[in-house]
């Protein structure tokens, strides 16, 4: 399952963070008849730009068509990824294998 992706997008209107989410993934698949997972794993430039444009269009940030928006020569970077939550390293209640072998 895909989680939302944040991109830093820069075009002639400035720079902003844009969050691409499920509606944008579905829109890509409907338009291009290709799984978004495949497009992203192939690093498809068109897929990334379409997702960003669709998110911006859906959120009311742009009312330009995809082609007109591309004419603004947008660039993008993947936003800062959140650090994963560390696993709890506390020993669960009970006896560990290490303590059993050391007492034998």
The predicted-structure confidence for 36-66, as pLDDT tens digits, reads as follows 999 999 999 999 999 999 999 999 999 999 9
Does residue 87 carry a pLDDT above 80? Answer: no
Rounded CA separation 13/3 (Å): 27
Residues 6+ apart with CB under 8 A from 29: 35, 36
Residue 31's pLDDT band (cuts 50, 70, 90): very high
- pLDDT in the model for residue 79: 63
> What pTM does this model have?
0.73
């Amino acid at each position: 399952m895909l989680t939302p992706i944040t991109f830093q997008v820069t075009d002639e209107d400035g720079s902003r963070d844009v969050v691409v989410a499920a509606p944008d993934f579905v829109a890509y698949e409907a338009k291009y008849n290709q799984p978004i997972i495949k497009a992203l794993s192939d690093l498809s430039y068109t897929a990334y730009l379409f997702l960003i444009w669709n998110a911006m269009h859906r959120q009311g940030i742009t009312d330009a068509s995809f082609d007109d928006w591309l004419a603004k020569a947008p660039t993008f970077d993947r936003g800062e990824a959140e650090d994963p939550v560390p696993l709890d390293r506390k020993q669960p209640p009970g006896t560990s294998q290490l303590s059993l072998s050391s007492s034998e």
